[in-house]
Structure 1
Amino acid sequence: MIRNVVVGRVRAGVPREQVEGALAAIVALDPPGCLDMRAGIDAGLRPGNWSFSITADFADADAYRAYDAEAEHNRVRRELFAPISEEIVRIQFET
């Protein structure tokens, strides 16, 4: 299994509702080979935390690669996340 972890820092002044909408859109994609996907806004329990996180578990590396290249996924990244994000970091690892 491949776990994809995405963490983002939101630009100053972006309304919470806009972040929630972007996260809801990414979770709604339901790509083939995705076993589980979750997203959320930081709970504010520690200073300096990033703004949001997305985790997605894929059956294998091929399923992750297909998701990463998928047109709708890339549209959501481009149209919903790029305008609100100051920085995004990612990691994929085997579990």
Structure 2
Amino acid sequence: MIRNVVVGRVRPGTDLAQVQEALDAIVALPVEGLLDVRVGLDAGLRPGAWSFAITSDFVDADAYRVYDAEAEHNRIRREQFDPVCEEIARVQFEV
């Protein structure tokens, strides 16, 4: 299984409702080979934390690669995340 973890830092003044809409769009994507997806805004428990996180579990690396290249997924990244994020970090690892 491959776990994909994404964290993002939004630009100051960003309406977090926009970020939540983008996260909801990620959850709504129909993805073959996706076992689980969790998203959330930072709970504000510690200063300096990232603004949001996404974790996605895939059956294997091939399923992740299909998701990563999928047109609707990339449209969401480009149109909903890119305009509000100043930084995004990703890591994929085997579980």
Q: Normalising by structure 2, report the TM-score.
A: 0.98
**Separation of aligned partners in 1, 2:2 and 2:30:** 16
**Separation of aligned partners in 2, 1:30 and 1:42:** 25
Measured against aligned partners, the alpha-carbon deviations of 1:60-90 in whole angstroms (never above 9, x if no partner) come to 0000000000000000000000001000000
What amino acid does structure 2 have at the position aligned with 1:66? V
Partner in structure 1 of residue 87 of structure 2: 87
Q: Would you identify which runs of 4 or more consecutive aligned residues in structure 1 move more than 3 Å?
A: none
Q: Does 1:41 align with 2:41?
A: yes
Q: CA deviation at 1:46?
A: 0.7
**Separation of aligned partners in 1, 2:91 and 2:80:** 20
Q: Does 1:72 align with 2:61?
A: no
Q: Does 1:3 align with 2:9?
A: no
Q: Normalising by structure 1, report the TM-score.
A: 0.98
Measured against aligned partners, the alpha-carbon deviations of 1:30-67 in whole angstroms (never above 9, x if no partner) come to 31000000100000111110000000000000000000
Q: Percent identity?
A: 71
Structure 2 spans left out of the alignment, 5+ residues: none
**Separation of aligned partners in 1, 2:93 and 2:10:** 24
Cα RMSD, aligned residues only = 0.5
Structure 1 spans left out of the alignment, 5+ residues: none
SS in 1 for 2:35: strand
Aligned length: 95
